[in-house]
Amino acid sequence: MIAEDLCKAIGKTAATAAPCGWTRLWIIAEMESDNGQCLFDYETATEGRTWFAPTESDQFVIYKAFQDIRAAMLIEKASLWRVAKFSMEPDGKFHLDFEYES
């Protein structure tokens, strides 16, 4: 499935971009038409949840993957989402939730 491959690419890029020692990652992608942004958070065993900033090239890869997921869902005639919430654990398990346009 295209979305699963894109999620794996998001996870791989985010995992290498995040600070060492993370125990959970979150990415919030907010999109409207051609505009959007991604917010990046992580958590460690000793620290609470805080943000991090991947390199511009990593941000582009992740943002593009979210755009491609949105486009694939549009092709499948699914409802358009406005917010995607991606979370991942160090073992590679990920979860993706959507908030849809009303």
CATH at residue 62: 3.30.500.20
Going by DSSP bridges, is the β-strand pair 35-44/22-32 parallel, antiparallel, or unpaired?
A: antiparallel
pLDDT score, position 2: 67
Sequence letter at residue 89: E
Find the domain containing 80 and state its range: 2-100
Number of domains present in the structure of the chain: 1
Quick check: 102 pLDDT over 70? no
pLDDT tens-digit series, residues 20-78: 999 999 999 999 877 899 999 999 999 899 999 999 999 999 999 999 998 888 877 77
- H/E stretch holding 40 reads strand 35-44
Distance CA 15, CA 95 (A): 14
